[in-house]
Structure 1
């Protein structure tokens, strides 16, 4: 019996190793919120026992302790690129609030490919590309960075795409998902459904312009990157539609219900973790706030310290009048005129703060991760949206009844005070936030378990090609039935012409017979 023990241990070890996969994650967008999504997912996969390699713009300060391995490849050049672009254009992020969706579409389509240029050219990434390593799956965030999808082809692995927001034209196109512009607003608008005629018109035009920019500029630019940085790199057309599944950071309680093809999986909120113990100073601040706490953060890319003086002073005067305590994410050491009820920090553990029962309101920029976290914890919001999807998220929160929108251009002491008091004194906002939170939590399994299941499913099924819809194999004119419509128009036109000339000929004959009869009668 003793002689069997080593054999059993070897079999157990072999079985355990056999379930481990080598996974490459690419979350290179230079935004902390984007990195948070990717890092949370990759660390969870490493904790499950998989061997993870993570390419990002940030990286971990200390290697996470996991059952599997976790290797960081940090591409700092992307952040340097972004900062350089901001300096060159003398761009204040708050000025972007004045931009319209058409301008935002052009800016994103032009800037993102240039900003992301260093990823594939990074020294460590090049070492990886030219190594003999193989991966079982490659996971890439979808955000105007399509050249990175060629890594999956290069390493001979299935491709999984993560969408940081819900279904949109960037994602729908690559998996053949229907996205009618008649009732699905594009991600850069703030349209609510049902849309008016003018909104549907603008929404459709914006979609077409976006597709034109992609096909005429973005895709050719991304294709050039592939050829430049990947040996024998595939053509962009061969990798664009290669995703086995798309993990959608969305959920029907937050996002508008829309059609999904079978390989689109909702995992919205997978980055949210159970609350941890707060630092002692924060814990005491929140516990001792008898009248409640307002948490104020403009996210990771927008900096409160860059508010123009008139906006900052309006906020300060408003906070000074409140009986509630305020936590304000402020990126500098000093805030001139700081009220006694305001506590500052360059960074706050946002999820853990929102979990505290004394938090009554979250004043936010309306980013999707912040919106998801506030819904998870059932806290109403006052949104001051600036750019990207923030305006749509903010309008959605208002339409669902768990928040209000205060446009940045209209931010004054009176309007800010009025909005805060409306949310704090009207119980409907808190009630709606709690109801939506219940809907958000109502799932068979957690979103992270869902994400990991489907990633491992793709590995087990060698890319799961059976989930791929036939629409991806059709040229665009066939997908939209333009050839069928053209044929029917042609046949109808021929029939109409034949009918017209036949009737005309018959009429002429009848007229001639009539005339001949009259002549005979005379």
Structure 2
């Protein structure tokens, strides 16, 4: 009887279990953290999860089933690429200069993923999946995996709403107050900024349609036998999960298929390792935490900038905890403590933490808002300038440009943040906004993934904009027709007036002759 009951429970549980494939091929740890948080959460709910990424999960969930397909060699390539790019030097270059180089790199990385031995085994296998979740990051050809496995497609954007996502689901993007994500503008743009914003948007759109999409179409044809057209792939997403929330990002329009799940990676704070716990507990003047994230390495900072930081920190009475990737830091002041890795979320949760000096990555921005900690952002690349602008706009911190860092400027910013209570007040208030949710972000994401699985997609959430050509969407055909009609009416009026004036002049001349 007991065996029968256990078997029945197993069968019942199996009916609610789905096979889920997640594609998160980026070598950046921050991208993996987000994808891994979602897929582990789905596995904990009893689903059978397969995750394709360069990483290996060291603590697989106890419930459900979790399997890694590891893109071996990707982490080494990522680290090499970061060093070669020298992101501190790239900070000087404009986004428009970097855009074509970045696009070409992403096409290459997309092919590298599809061509990987482990990915090829998956593509040519007999496996079945109920849904395919693909990270949205200029990797359009990889979305053909949903077609390959005859499963609904879900996109996961590691950023909030942006032009890369909006184009694919017909979401409006009013350029008057929504800047391109990588420009770092606020919603209140000047005339010149709006001009740059329009030009950048048009350049991004043109690059996609005339280079990116054709190149990805070639990849689909190369790696998927009888593969679909790129245009049947990119507009096929049932929903898009966005790493955003109104407490973190500026409010923008959303179509129904866009779901906010910003903060799904944030965990309940844990007790720190003993040595770190004692250090923070005993910091009577408080603690400043400094980290440039997982991609930017503090150890690669130019000597000049590193010395400015050391000189500035040495003048502070607070304890400074610095994520430093080398064993030693030459010239380190006594109040500065270094570590190659730190449990950032748990550090930010400590009551003695007064300030977070950050690169302004979205995960770090989310975590500082979650814990209500004032921040000083030093943005370098990607969406960091936009996030830094948001930190300033929310009143929870300040920002300083990398090229603007001097001892005087940096000390001034830090002192403002430590002495003005409004920053802490605003940070706590913003944290309240973040926490005031009906459902947690992870549970929200899981619900919508299961929703798509239950209904075999979500075509009823698809907006009609996706069925329009670009000139129809922007009403260019209507504008041309109206302009032509207006010109025709003006021409007729002009002709009538001219004819009337001509007749009047003739009559006037005849009258003068007769007199």
Instruction: Tell me if TM exceeds 0.5.
Output: yes
SS across alignment from 1:262: coil
Kindly indicate whether residue 43 of structure 2 is the aligned counterpart of residue 46 of structure 1: yes
* Compared CA separation, residues 7 and 517, structure 1 to 2 (3 A): farther
Deviation at 1:10, TM superposition (A): 4.1
Q: Tell me the alpha carbon deviations over residues 247-299 of structure 1, each in whole angstroms, 9 at most, x when there is no partner.
A: 11111111111100001011110110101121111111111111111111000
Deviation at 1:66, TM superposition (A): 2.6
2-structure distance, mates of 1:81, 1:490: 56
Q: Tell me the alpha carbon deviations over residues 11-44 of structure 1, each in whole angstroms, 9 at most, x when there is no partner.
A: 4322211111100001111211011100111111
Deviation at 1:180, TM superposition (A): 1.0
Equivalent residues in 2 for 1:28-177, closer than 5 Å = 28-60=25-57, 62=58, 64-85=60-81, 90-177=84-171
Q: Which residue of 2 aligns with 1:383?
A: 377
2-structure distance, mates of 1:377, 1:364: 14
SS across alignment from 1:116: helix
1-structure distance, mates of 2:433, 2:5: 46
Q: Is residue 75–residue 118 contact of structure 1 (8 Å, CA) maintained in 2?
A: no
Structure 2 residue aligned with 1:22, among 12, 19, 22?
Answer: 19
Deviation at 1:426, TM superposition (A): 1.2
2-structure distance, mates of 1:6, 1:514: 114
Tell me the TM-score normalised to structure 1 length.
Answer: 0.95
| Cα RMSD after superposing both structures | 1.7
Kindly indicate whether residue 427 of structure 2 is the aligned counterpart of residue 430 of structure 1: no
2-structure distance, mates of 1:517, 1:508: 14
Q: Which residue of 2 aligns with 1:296?
A: 290
Tell me the TM-score normalised to structure 2 length.
Answer: 0.96
Q: Is residue 150–residue 239 contact of structure 1 (8 Å, CA) maintained in 2?
A: yes
Q: Which residue of 2 aligns with 1:271?
A: 265
Structure 2 residue aligned with 1:338, among 321, 332, 352?
Answer: 332
Kindly indicate whether residue 254 of structure 2 is the aligned counterpart of residue 260 of structure 1: yes
Structure 2 residue aligned with 1:238, among 223, 228, 232?
Answer: 232
Segments of 5+ residues of structure 1 without an aligned counterpart are: none
Q: Is residue 171–residue 254 contact of structure 2 (8 Å, CA) maintained in 1?
A: yes
Deviation at 1:486, TM superposition (A): 1.4
1-structure distance, mates of 2:101, 2:399: 25
Q: Tell me the alpha carbon deviations over residues 455-486 of structure 1, each in whole angstroms, 9 at most, x when there is no partner.
A: 10111111111000010011111111111111
SS across alignment from 1:105: helix
Mean CA deviation greater in 463-472 or 215-224: 215-224
Segments of 5+ residues of structure 2 without an aligned counterpart are: none
Q: Is residue 299–residue 364 contact of structure 1 (8 Å, CA) maintained in 2?
A: yes
* Compared CA separation, residues 252 and 108, structure 1 to 2 (3 A): same
SS across alignment from 1:98: coil
